[in-house]
Amino acid sequence: MTELMVTPYAPYRDGIANYAVQEVAAARAAGRDMEVLSPLPSAAQHHLRLGSALGMGRLIRAARRYDRVVLQLYPELLFGACRGRRERLAVWGLLRVLCSVTKVELRIHEIEYDEPAADPQARRLGHAALSAAAAVTVHTAPEQQRLTEAFDLVTGAVSLVDHGVNFARRTETTREDARESLGVPGDAFVFLSIGFVQRHKGFDRGVRALDRLDDPDGRVRIYVVGDIRIDHPDLLDYREELESLCRHVDGAEFRPGYVSDEEFDRWLVAADCLVLPYREIWSSSVIERAGIYGVPVIATDVGGLAAQAPAGSRVVADDDALAEAMAEVAGLSLGAGSTRDVTEVPREQAAIQRLIRERADDGGRAPLEADRLHHTPRASTDSARPGVPQAKRLIARITAWQVEPVAGHLDEVIDRLRTDLRRLDERVEHLEHGERD
């Protein structure tokens, strides 16, 4: 039997790619004839641009040659390049066709629930596609239930697969060696938040929680390890917010940059406790990997994390519980100098709105001005109009040789300005301290 897995794939750094590699390795080790098709060029045998009706059409053609196809499914894979509702509906329809040409397993990592809730036709077509698949699988019971309800599927149509069933160790290093190689003090108590930096992962919550611990010896540290996927303004904002936060919280350290699978695991080995303060998530590979190394986890109660968390984990409801759990794990108490927000929240909508605006404009609360300086944004090639993205990309290519050096130099100027502003900020702080002393 020949099988095809459709998935992001190595050497791309991506949670689903990482997951898929381990499944492919296990399948091939078991003697199964499995090939891979990825949406971007990678180590896969095949690649196709997906995310549109055309892409799905091509996938149907490719899938005919295989006895079984597994789609590691997330919204971008199906709809990433769609130009509107009609095309999205067409993709659902074509997914139904794909499920009829061969045996298809839809391994769902993430799906947009707003769509079937708001659009009956999308729900109908989604229902048809999911019902036609040979298998629909998810990782946790909450996902199973939500998916079943969202698409009116029959009970039992969605089954569970163990998220970490194919996960294997990627390092044999010791804790001491791991810490030494990563520049982590050997005697520190180390909390770790690791993964792509996105606001919904809430890494800032862990840092703020650390700031509430009463740690007179400065023994406890939190490392935020990872980086943004793309230079999107929202992601850049969040990364800079995290950087700024980590600079101002004793014991917090942000380690931006590319993290390989091996280094990822080395961080887990080096950590005393993994902190996953996600604001939203379906399921987490990181929890599964922590389980391989027996690293305790503190996670927020979102998505299927409670179901995934290994025995001994602490699943917390809110920021207070997060701080309390971290204090308990580190053998500390919550400090008096808590940074907990004690603002009294008004009950009227207009007052709340005003308060939000005021807080957003409050220089004291906002990140440093230096952190608001961004690199020069490159022109977006996105557009819903047919042909426009292609034309924009063409123009970008043609003009890149002129634009890029200028933009690059501007970025350099911005970097220097940021540095100067930070130095200025430090000097002001120093002077203020001096005056107080």
Partner 1 sequence: MTGTSTDRSGTIALVPPRYGPEVVGGAEAVISETAHMLAARGWEVEILTTCARDHFTWANEYPAGTSRDGDVTVRRFETQTDTPGVHRKVLGDRLLSGVRLSLAEQQLWMNDSLRVSGLWHHVLDHGASYRAIVLAPYMFWTTFAVGQIRPERTILMPCLHDEPAAYLDIYQPLFSGARGIFFLSDPEAELAERLFRLPARTEVVGSAITLPESYDPDGFRARHGIDGPFVYYAGRREWAKGWTELLDAFRRVHRSAGLRLVTSGVGEVELPAGLPADRVLDLGFVSDDERNDAMAAAAAYVQPSALESFSRTVLEAWGAGTPVIANDASEVVRWHVQRSGAGVTYRSEQELMEALTLVGADPDAFGAMAAPGRDYVVEHYDPTRIGDRFDQLLLEWTSPLSGTGSPPVADRAAR
Dihedral sign (CA 66, 72, 73, 79)? negative
C-alpha dist (Å) from residue 90 to 4, 94, 258, 348: 23, 6, 37, 44
| Smallest distance, partner 1 to C-beta of residue 230, A | 4
Residue placing its CB nearer to partner 1 in the complex, 33 or 149: 33
Size of the site for partner 1 (CB under 8 A): 48
Q: Which of 5, 16, 20, 24 binds partner 1 (CB under 8 A)?
A: 24
Residue placing its CB nearer to partner 1 in the complex, 24 or 323: 24
Scanning residues 324 to 363, which ones bind partner 1 (CB under 8 A)?
Answer: none
Residue placing its CB nearer to partner 1 in the complex, 38 or 144: 38
Q: Report DSSP state, residue 62.
A: H
The residue among 107, 117, 121 whose CA lies nearest residue 74 is 107
Q: Tokens at residue 173, please? A: 């290093």
The residue among 375, 382, 435, 436 whose CA lies nearest residue 410 is 375
Backbone angles phi, psi at 28, to 5 degrees: -70, -35
3-state SS, 85-110, equals: HHHHHHHHHHHHHHHHHCEEEEEECC
**C-alpha 229: how far from chain center:** 9
| Smallest distance, partner 1 to C-beta of residue 430, A | 30
Scanning residues 139 to 198, which ones bind partner 1 (CB under 8 A)?
Answer: 170-172, 177, 180-183
Compute the distance between CA of residue 51 and CA of residue 42 in angstroms, rounded to an integer: 17
Residue placing its CB nearer to partner 1 in the complex, 94 or 259: 259
Stretch that binds partner 1, among 77-85, 87-95, 261-269, 329-337 (CB under 8 A): 261-269
Q: Which of 109, 205, 212, 266 binds partner 1 (CB under 8 A)?
A: 266
CB 69 within 8 A of CB 63: yes
Residue placing its CB nearer to partner 1 in the complex, 279 or 393: 393
| Smallest distance, partner 1 to C-beta of residue 288, A | 19
Listed in sequence order, the residues at least 6 apart from 4 whose beta carbon sits closer than 8 Å to its beta carbon are: 34, 35, 36, 37, 46, 62, 63, 65, 66, 68, 69, 70
Q: Which of 64, 357, 397, 427 binds partner 1 (CB under 8 A)?
A: 397
Q: Which of 30, 348, 362, 401 binds partner 1 (CB under 8 A)?
A: 401
Backbone angles phi, psi at 129, to 5 degrees: -65, -45
- Specify the 3-state DSSP secondary structure of 347: coil
Asked if 58 is part of the footprint of partner 1 (rule: CB under 8 A), the reply reads no
Q: Which of 25, 388, 413, 417 binds partner 1 (CB under 8 A)?
A: 25
Q: Nearest 5 degrees, angle CA 251-CA 253-CA 254?
A: 160
C-alpha dist (Å) from residue 6 to 70, 106, 288: 6, 10, 22
Structural element, H or E, at residue 325: helix 319-330
Q: Which of 228, 366, 373, 414 binds partner 1 (CB under 8 A)?
A: 228
Q: Tokens at residue 291, please? A: 């389980």
| Smallest distance, partner 1 to C-beta of residue 181, A | 6
| Smallest distance, partner 1 to C-beta of residue 258, A | 4
Residue placing its CB nearer to partner 1 in the complex, 119 or 180: 180
Asked if 229 is part of the footprint of partner 1 (rule: CB under 8 A), the reply reads yes
CB 376 within 8 A of CB 407: yes
CB 220 within 8 A of CB 188: yes
| Smallest distance, partner 1 to C-beta of residue 66, A | 15
Residue placing its CB nearer to partner 1 in the complex, 132 or 236: 236
Scanning residues 370 to 389, which ones bind partner 1 (CB under 8 A)?
Answer: 375
Q: Which of 174, 260, 380, 383 binds partner 1 (CB under 8 A)?
A: 260
Scanning residues 67 to 126, which ones bind partner 1 (CB under 8 A)?
Answer: none
Q: Which of 32, 408, 427, 432 binds partner 1 (CB under 8 A)?
A: 408
Question: What character string, x for contact with partner 1 (CB under 8 A) and - otherwise, covers 37-56?
Answer: ---xxxxxx-x---------
Residue ranges binding partner 1 (CB under 8 A): 10-13, 21, 24-25, 28-29, 33, 40-45, 47, 170-172, 177, 180-183, 227-231, 257-263, 266, 375, 397, 400-401, 404-405, 407-408, 411-412
